[in-house]
Amino acid sequence: MEKVKFLVQGIVQGVGFRPTVYRIVKKYDLNGYIRNLGNIVEIVLEGKNEDIISFKEDLIKNKPILSEIYSIETKYLKYNNEYFDFTIHESESNYSGSSIIPPDMGTCDTCLGEINNPQDRHYKYPFTACTDCGPRFTVINSTPYDRERTSMDEFPLCNDCMFEYKDISDRRYHAEAICCPECGPEVILCKKHELLDVDNPIKKASELLDEGHILAIKGIGGTHLVCKVTDKLVVQKLRERLGRPNQPFACMSPNIETIKTFCEVSEKEYKTLISQRRPIVVLKKNNEYNFAENVAPNLHNIGIMLPYTGLHHLLFQHTDEPAYIMTSANIPGEPMIINNKNIINDLNDIADYFLLHNRKIINRCDDSVVRYRGEDMAFIRRSRGYVPEPYDLSHIDDKLTILALGPEIDVTFSLLKEGKCYPSQHIGNTNKIATLEYMEDAINHMLSITHTETVDFIVCDMHPQFHTTKLAKELGNKYNCSVLQVQHHHAHGMSLMIDNGLDEMICIAADGVGYGDDGNAWGGEILHLKGFEYERIGGLMPQIMPGGDLCAKYPARMLISMLRDYYLEDELKMMLKNEYISYFPYGESEIDLVFKQLEKNINVNISTSTGRVLDAISVALKINGKRTYEGEGAMKLESVAYNSKNPLKINVEINDNIINTSKILKDSIDLIHSGEKEEDVAAATQRSIAEALAKVAVKTAKRKNIKYIGGTGGVFYNESISLVVKEYVENKGFIYVQHRNTCAGDGSVSLGQAAIGALKFSVK
């Protein structure tokens, strides 16, 4: 007879792990106990060695659906015949280790069946959940993950729910979000500050939406602004109230069959849509697409998700609309609003009605967004349904505690502890004070639920003016630790290497902007990454940005800078005034001013940004002349190029690994002037930039004898550019890698920062 202690590490809380262990143990002649210890489940067993071994194999094979086992430590103890049954002990709340909290999951089919079953006590109840579904991260106050440490603690269980909660054979055993109409949260409908007396608030909300009203609907991790997709005037009303004139809206549709009536859905997109993680998936519009043209204007694709809560499912039972707009409810640039009072007060001029509930949202968590590039999925935003599942960096270091703060736009932060790197939910743009304060609160909460009291190092971006850089220095003082500043694209590349298990590669980093070692704005770089070091090899030619960041908003300014070596000044001015005058807010006087700025070198920046080049091309082809949302010019350029049937060839000049983007722009204008179609020229410019970057990367990889080449940065959300680079690299015999479980954009910069810090300061 033997006595064995198993310490199981992973996602083992809130996923039905303990009852699963109980049921497996009962298959064998074993006694002992199980209890939660932070991110570890402790299992002590007494019995025959062969039965203990069989139990372990059975557990690995038949673990709960939502659980993840990272490791099982086995310790043989002195047998003393101490136990006469197998019991589930209470969680150890004083345990000091970190805790891995599972993400929120969409309503499972079993719970949905109960919601739709008139004979079930959960009939039409929107908060129905079990161990296989429902909120986790968004309701947790502290760990270990038990009901009394969640926002569900305010809802004492009724007798029926308590019976299920305590019944080891029930799928709701210790399902911390368990509730029913007798004991759980309630939904209310308000008009401004007036509570409406209606029998079915959800049904009434659907009717109001179909009448053309805008609603704020509180969910599990935040609030959505919602309206119908088939009425242009309603959509325009939402845009005017929100101050978002062109940004595409994400939508929710009731089922896959409906989605297929207006979008193309591949097999992989289908599987992602129906997964319990329920992200927004960016799909291509099909020929039958009939939403109002201003839902996702001038784009060939649109973000669509399926219902992921009982409330969403019930909402669609009372409408014939193919979808509803479901966009995050926040003041532009600020965090989602989650408190009922603030929802009504802050959105009073935007929403006509409010569908709310009385369960607190502890952690905001925006919807995740993914997109497929060919057969490969890419995260645009990794948040609800995925966060805070950690990345394993134990091969780098398992002793250091590092807090990485990311850049400034589309920020997440990451906490590295005991070899596990926990990414935060999407935070947003920290150039807004409210978002920065939200980030600080989220950091404190992450430190709390992981039982982190000290930090060894803080890592942040190199940009001296970022609010996250300033926050890093404050936190460095607070924890009496050093602050490491990491170059933006180095961190991008490192997150890509972590995602693919590499320690060396040639990296193409292409995005809007990142502060460079030389103090200039980078964004079109070829880098050699090895360990925690990098070397900049080449990339796009430096361009002057007259007016600095004004060029990002009004990219027509870049035309003057990029083209002045190819035209006489009077000739260029004449073309600008004849063809592009509407893209200069102050008309001819602004054009003259920009020329003077360039001549006298006043208020100008230097940039190698791929984003700025794509924006300039978008202006040159008269696709987009003003940026009203991040990436607008490049996204619309891609959509125009998507319709190309006859892509043209643009020859690119490359000298000493520097790509001449001015000539690409000049050639694209010449092609338009010669009568070529806008979509064909758009496709040609995208392809020329992609092939040029790939060419320099391949040349570098050959010289350094490196077989891996990767692409990172927001430009690699562009499907065409991604596929062209991939095709070129693989045709030359190299292995192309791209983001799979990380973001190509800024959302995974903090992960890269944490990894660089761990490599640099590793105590292994």
Integer Cα distance of 425 and 680 in angstroms: 39
Q: What is the pLDDT of residues 487-506, one digit of tens each?
A: 999 999 999 999 999 999 99
- Mean pLDDT, residues 156-171 taken together: 94
Question: pLDDT-based confidence at 350, cuts 50/70/90?
Answer: very high
Q: Chain-wide mean pLDDT for the chain?
A: 95
Q: Please compute the mean of the pLDDT values over residues 602-609 and round it to a whole number.
A: 96
Which CATH number does the domain housing residue 409 bear? 3.30.420.360
pLDDT at 100: 73
The verdict on residue 297 lying in a domain is yes
Shortest CA distance to 527 belongs to which of 561, 486, 558?
486
- Given a contact cutoff of 8 angstroms between Cβ atoms, the answer to whether 247 and 273 are in contact is no
Stretch 305-324: mean pLDDT, rounded?
Answer: 97
Domain boundary among 27, 53, 88: 88
- Mark whether 274 and 325 lie in a shared domain: yes
Q: What number is the average pLDDT over the span 504-522?
A: 97
pLDDT in tens, 714-750: 999 999 999 999 999 999 999 999 999 999 999 999 9
- Mean pLDDT across 190-200: 94
* pLDDT given for residue 6 in this prediction: 95
Confidence of residue 38 (pLDDT cuts 50, 70, 90): low
pLDDT above 90 covers a percentage of the chain that reads: 90
Residue 631 within any structural domain of the chain: no
Asked if residue 335 and residue 213 are part of one domain, the reply reads yes
CATH number at residue 29: 3.30.70.100
Q: How confident is the model at residue 101 (pLDDT cuts 50, 70, 90)?
A: confident
What the block records as the tokens of 539 is: 């990339």
CB 131 within 8 A of CB 14: yes
Tell me if 410 is assigned to some domain: yes
Q: State mean pLDDT over 646-665.
A: 95
**Using 50, 70 and 90 to split pLDDT, how confident is the model at 94?**
low
- Boundaries of domain holding 260: 187-369
Residue 610 lies in a domain: no
Q: Is residue 380 part of a domain?
A: no
**Residue 99: which pLDDT band, with cuts at 50, 70 and 90?**
low
How much is the average pLDDT of 427-445? 95
Phi, psi of 123 (to 5 degrees): -55, 125
Average pLDDT in the 410-435 region?
Answer: 94
pLDDT value at position 168?
A: 87
Same domain, yes or no: 248 and 332: yes
Of 627, 240, 272, 630, nearest in space to 428 by CA: 630
Residue 77: inside a domain, yes or no?
A: yes
Residues 353 and 477 placed together within one structural domain of the fold: no
The reply to whether 364 and 402 lie within a common domain is no
Task: Find out whether 98 and 417 touch, Cβ atoms under 8 Å.
Answer: yes
Is there a domain that residue 558 lies in? no
Answer whether residue 745 is part of any domain.
no
CA angle 39, 44, 50 (to 5 degrees): 120
Task: Tally helices (H) and strands (E) across the chain.
Answer: 23, 31
| CATH number, residue 344 | 3.90.870.40
pLDDT at 96 over 60: no
Residue that terminates a domain, selected from 88, 105, 124: 88
Segment 603-615 shows an average pLDDT of 97
Domain final residue, candidates 429, 453, 487: 487
Structure tokens that stand for 464 in this block: 């001296």
Range in 9-13, 178-182, 293-297, 470-474 with the lowest mean pLDDT: 9-13
Bond into 144 cis (ω within 30): yes
Q: Tell me, yes or no, whether 300 and 400 share the same domain.
A: no
pLDDT at 93: 58
- Please state which of the ranges 61-75, 293-307, 428-442, 470-484 shows the lowest mean pLDDT: 61-75
Task: Assess whether 401 and 361 both reside in one domain.
Answer: no
pLDDT number for residue 764 = 61
Say what the pLDDT of residue 327 is: 97
Assess contact for 740 and 484: CB atoms under 8 A: no
Count of domains for the chain: 3
- The Cα–Cα gap between 263 and 283 comes to 6
Q: What is the pLDDT of residues 225-283, one digit of tens each?
A: 999 999 999 999 999 999 999 999 999 999 999 999 999 999 999 999 999 999 999 99
In tens, the pLDDT along 354-384 reads 999 999 999 999 999 999 999 999 999 999 9
Q: Quick one: 396 and 257 in the same domain?
A: no
| Average of per-residue pLDDT across 601-624 | 97
- Specify the pLDDT at position 97: 52
Same domain? 194 vs 322: yes
Question: In terms of DSSP H, where are the helices of 355-480?
Answer: 433-449, 467-479
- Give me the mean pLDDT over the 532-548 stretch: 97
Residue range 557-575, pLDDT digits in tens: 999 999 999 999 999 999 9
CB of 483 closer than 8 Å to CB of 472: yes
Per DSSP, the residues of 136-157 read SGGGB-SSS--GGGBGGGGS--
Task: Give the predicted TM-score (pTM) of the model.
Answer: 0.94
For the cut 90, the answer to whether the pLDDT of residue 349 exceeds it is yes
